[in-house]
């Protein structure tokens, strides 16, 4: 029977106190709603419907731009080496349904009911429960009979604020009572509704039709379908999540920060189990996907964003940001380095204090030192850019030495132009290479030169004026 997933994402999220709709707040760099969409997509349903409402335009725009951004990632380097982000086309398969007035979770589901057929199973997910795992959802689907109602519940020491599961003497679920509607005795109940339900399409439509807003919050509660199911003698099956935090909701920023740490701790533990070491696993942040080989070491405060791959034995120093890049084997990245959309081959040494911008591609044994910025720079085997340089739109051969303070002047105010430096060239310190320009193989450029024409291979080219001494010069004096 077809599985249809409805994600409730229209609520305002009052307790966030934010101009940004709650579902766009991020956990590990990804909007809350996207976490839930990703979980839904993994289940490969017949249809995924997102009920949106509060901040609707912002929500729709955010998901359109996620698509655009992902498509825009063209690294300008050998694309085969760089992992591409997830194919964004799954977003096009989502049905967006607007709930113009947010009258409660039951009212939210009513907005999608014309999509439900009698033989569908409807899985309801909440957009503010980002860590829900597909393991738990699959278990719910497997354990719930096709004509039954499935619920994910959990027992908490502090159930305050959540809907309580009411059971009869035989332990059968007979209802859910929202926190604000509980009497004192019901408030003691520790088993709560996670909000995740699997509903039989055949019954759901008339259950939704029966909902009223006669409760403490004056809302149409989805949780009232339970009493309907009991009245219709539809069996109710409950399962527990694999771990408690996956069903915890984000209602305020403190809960969001808590779940962020839960996620980061799990991410670090998973990496350690696969052979990665951390100076301190609590000071590591993964905001994307990391594909990592054994014996990689992370010093403190490393942030990994987007898609990153790191080869065997590489060492990542403190305060490093790696975004959408490939790092080879035995690479040393010293502290305070930022690398984005770049490929770093085996045995390179980078930093400290270097910034490698999109399109940087380093062959093996390259050294990039402190205060060096690169962009669209292809650097050959064993070349060195050790200090204080800007290298942009450059093709550099192997065994090239770039002296301190060298600048590729790649921009003429309108166009970007290429600097080519051939194998074995030596660029003296404080040189400006005005692109388009080529420095021939084995050429030497005298320190302090401004090079605006091609420099021939194997020759010394200097453009600075000769040093002179002004004989009659006197230091200036103050007017008397
Ligand atoms: C809900 C459940 C509660 C459960 C808790 C688990 C109901 C009535 N209550 O309470 O039993 O313990 O989740 O976290 O279902 N939404 C809409 N439209 C609306 C209202 C809400 O789309 O009109 C969406 C919100 O964006 C949110 C979700 O539904 O993603 C849950 O809404 P929220 O107001 O957070 O419900 P809770 O009070 O947390
Ligand atoms: Ca909630």
Q: Ligand 1, residues 153, 195, 213: which to mutate, most atoms within 8 A of Cβ?
A: 195
User: Ligand 1: does its nearest atom lie under 6 Å from the Cβ of 111?
Assistant: no
Assess whether 305 and 357 both reside in one domain. yes
Residue 126 near ligand 1, beta carbon < 6 Å: yes
Q: Is the same domain home to 210 and 269?
A: no
324 and 419 fall within a common domain: yes
Examine the domain organization and report whether 302 and 160 are in the same domain: no
How many independent structural domains does the chain possess?
2
Report pLDDT digits (tens) over 334-366: 999 999 999 999 999 999 999 999 999 999 999
Mean pLDDT for all residues in the chain = 94
Cα(105) to centroid(ligand 1), Å? 6
pLDDT score at 101: 96
Q: Do the domain assignments include residue 478? A: no
Query: Strand 121-126 and strand 191-200: pairing?
Result: antiparallel
What's the pLDDT tens digit per position in 262-313? 999 999 999 999 999 999 999 999 999 999 999 999 999 999 999 999 999 9
Q: State the Cα–Cα distance between residues 14 and 467, nearest whole angstrom.
A: 71
- Residue 469 inside a domain? The answer is no
User: Which residue's C-alpha comes closest to atom 25 of ligand 1?
Assistant: 11
Question: Model confidence over 46-69: pLDDT tens digits?
Answer: 999 999 999 999 999 988 844 434
Residues 196, 281 share a domain: no
Flag whether 181 is in a domain: yes
Tell me the best of 21, 40, 52, 126 to mutate to test the pocket of ligand 1, counting ligand atoms within 8 Å of each CB and taking the most.
126
Q: Could you tell me if 439 and 421 lie in one domain? A: yes
Same domain membership, residue 195 and residue 330 = no
For residue 64, the model assigns a pLDDT of 80
The answer as to whether 471 is a domain residue is no
In a domain, 63, yes or no: yes
In a domain? residue 476: no
CATH number, domain of 279, equals: 2.160.10.10
Last residue of a domain, one of 206, 228, 247: 247
H/E stretch holding 323: strand 321-327
pLDDT at 85 over 50: no
233 and 381 together in one domain: no
* Residue among 96, 105, 111, 155 to mutate when testing ligand 1 (max atoms within 8 A of CB): 105
282 shares a domain with 226? no
Kindly state whether residues 359 and 433 are assigned to the same domain.
yes
DSSP assignment of 109-135, as one string? HHTTGGG--TT-EEEEEETT-TT--HH
Q: Does residue 287 belong to any structural domain of this protein? A: yes
Q: Is 387 a catalytic residue?
A: yes
For the domain that residue 95 is a member of, what is the CATH number?
3.90.550.10
Q: Final residue of a domain: which of 221, 247, 273?
A: 247
Residue that is written with structure tokens 């740490």 in the block: 261
Does the beta carbon of 305 lie inside 6 Å of ligand 1?
no
What residues does 297 pair with on adjacent strands? 277, 315
Domain encompassing residue 192 = 3-247
Could you say which of 198, 231, 247 is where a domain stops? 247
Distance of CA 298 to the CA centre of its chain: 19
For residues 240 and 156, state if they share a domain. Answer: yes
pTM of the model as a whole = 0.91
* Domain membership flag for residue 479: no
Residue linked to tokens 């039709």: 209
**Ligand number nearest to the C-alpha of 8:** 1
Instruction: Indicate which residue of 25, 107, 365, 387 is catalytic.
Output: 387
pLDDT bracket for residue 330 (50, 70, 90): very high
Distance from the CA of 62 to the center of ligand 1, in angstroms? 22
* Average of per-residue pLDDT across 168-194: 97
Kindly state whether residues 237 and 178 are assigned to the same domain.
yes
Secondary structure E strands in 103-208:
121-126, 149-155, 164-167, 173-177, 191-200
For range 385-402, the mean pLDDT: 98
């Amino acid at each position: 029977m077809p599985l249809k997933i409805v994600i409730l994402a229209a609520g305002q999220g009052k307790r966030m106190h934010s101009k940004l709709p709650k579902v766009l707040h991020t956990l590990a760099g990804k909007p809350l709603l996207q976490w839930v969409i990703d979980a839904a997509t993994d289940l490969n349903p017949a249809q995924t419907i997102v009920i949106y409402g509060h901040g609707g335009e912002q929500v729709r725009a955010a998901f359109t731009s996620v698509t655009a951004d992902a498509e825009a990632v063209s690294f300008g380097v050998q694309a085969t080496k760089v992992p591409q982000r997830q194919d964004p086309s799954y977003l096009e398969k989502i049905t967006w349904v607007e709930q113009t007035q947010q009258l409660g979770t039951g009212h939210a589901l009513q907005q999608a009911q014309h999509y439900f057929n009698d033989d569908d199973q409807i899985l309801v997910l909440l957009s503010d429960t980002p860590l829900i795992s597909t393991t738990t959802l699959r278990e719910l689907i497997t354990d719930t009979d096709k004509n039954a109602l499935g619920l994910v519940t959990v027992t908490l020491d502090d159930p305050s604020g959540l809907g309580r599961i009411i059971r009869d003497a035989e332990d059968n679920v007979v209802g859910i009572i929202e926190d604000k509607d509980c009497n004192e005795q019901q408030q003691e109940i520790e088993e709560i509704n996670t909000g995740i339900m699997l509903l039989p399409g055949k019954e759901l439509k008339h259950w939704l039709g029966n909902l009223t807003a006669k409760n403490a919050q004056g809302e149409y509660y989805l949780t009232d379908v339970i009493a309907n199911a009991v009245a219709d003698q539809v069996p109710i099956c409950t399962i527990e999540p694999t771990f408690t935090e996956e069903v915890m909701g984000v209602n305020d920023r403190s809960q969001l920060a808590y779940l962020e740490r839960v996620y980061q701790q799990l991410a670090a533990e998973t990496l350690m189990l696969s052979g990665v070491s951390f100076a301190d696993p609590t000071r590591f942040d993964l905001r994307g996907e990391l594909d990592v080989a054994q014996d990689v070491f992370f010093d403190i405060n490393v942030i990994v964003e987007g898609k990153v791959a790191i080869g065997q034995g590489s060492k990542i120093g403190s305060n490093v940001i790696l975004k959408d890049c490939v790092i080879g084997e035995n690479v040393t990245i010293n502290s305070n380095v930022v690398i984005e959309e770049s490929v770093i081959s085996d045995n390179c040494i980078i930093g400290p204090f270097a910034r490698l911008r999109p399109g940087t591609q380093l062959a093996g044994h390259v050294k990039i030192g402190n205060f060096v910025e690169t962009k669209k720079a292809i650097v050959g085997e064993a070349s060195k850019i050790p200090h204080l340089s800007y290298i942009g739109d450059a093709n550099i051969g192997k065994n090239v030495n770039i002296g301190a303070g060298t600048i590729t002047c790649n921009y003429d105010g309108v166009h970007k132009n290429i600097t080519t430096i051939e194998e074995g060239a030596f660029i003296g310190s404080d040189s400006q290479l005005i692109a388009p320009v080529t420095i021939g193989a084995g050429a030497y450029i005298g320190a302090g030169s401004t090079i605006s024409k091609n420099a021939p291979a194997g020759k010394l080219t200097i453009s600075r004026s000769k040093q002179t001494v002004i004989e009659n010069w006197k230091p200036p004096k103050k007017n008397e």
